[in-house]
Structure 1
Amino acid sequence: MPSFRATVQITGLRPGHAPEEVMDTAVAVVASRHVVEANQLDVVAGVPRITVRFMVEASEYDAENRLARDAVASLGHGVNTVATTGALRAFRRSAGKWLPI
């Protein structure tokens, strides 16, 4: 199964939401369609960034990328219900590197 990851900058929390809800929401949204391999929180240049790594069902290359982009878009929409966000990016693991899709 091909491996993908989504990264999103977190620029603030929406009123009434706790910090842990951001990652919980991101993982739950992706896990509703795909197997989540890992998740992590990093602070890059003072800005929190979450990463969710997941797999999609193996099929045709472009179809796999479409499924991954859909999952990343859903993650972005889900996280936006609990936090304000910045850059949202999607990557595919290929030959030991993470390449943007």
Structure 2
Amino acid sequence: MPSFRATIQITGLRPGHAPEEVMDTAVAVVGSAHVVEANQLDVVAGIPRITVRFMVEASEYDAENRLARDAAVSLQHGLRSVALTGALRTFRRSAGKWLVL
């Protein structure tokens, strides 16, 4: 199964939500449709960024990429209930490198 990852900046929390809810929500949203391989939190240039690595069902190359992009958009929409978000990027693992979709 092809491996993808989505990264998204977290620029703030919505009132009444704890920081750990952000990653929990991210994993739940992506995990509802795909196998989540890993997740992590990084701080890049002072801005928190979460990464969710996941797999999509193997099919045709463009269809796999479309599923991954859809998962990333769902991630962003799901996170908006608990956090303010910034830049969203989606990557595909190919020959040992992460390529931007």
The reply to whether TM is greater than 0.5 is yes
User: What does residue 37 of structure 1 align with?
Assistant: 37
Task: Point out where structure 1 has 5 or more consecutive residues left out of the alignment.
Answer: none
Alignment partners' CA distance in 2, 1:70 and 1:9: 17
The structural deviation recorded for 1:17 is: 0.4
**For residues 50-87 of structure 1, what are the alpha-carbon distances to aligned partners after superposition, in whole Å with 9 as ceiling and x for unaligned?**
00000000000000000000000000000111000110
Q: 1:49 corresponds to which residue?
A: 49
For 2:90, the equivalent position in structure 1 comes to 90
SS in 1 for 2:10: strand
SS of alignment partner, residue 27 of structure 2:
helix
Gaps of 5+ in 2: none
Correspondence for 2:7: 7
Alignment RMSD (CA, Å): 0.4
What does residue 68 of structure 1 align with?
Answer: 68
User: TM-score, normalization: structure 2?
Assistant: 0.99
Inter-partner Cα distance in structure 2 for 1:68 and 1:47: 24
Would you identify which runs of 4 or more consecutive aligned residues in structure 1 move more than 4 Å?
none
The C-alpha deviation readout for 1:33-58, integer Å capped at 9, x for no partner, is 00000000000011000000000000
Describe how 1:21-36 pairs up with structure 2 within 5 A: 21-36=21-36
**Corresponding residue of 1:81:** 81
Number of residue-to-residue matches in the alignment: 101
What CA distance in whole angstroms lies between the structure 2 residues aligned with 1:6 and 1:79? 13
Identical columns (%): 86
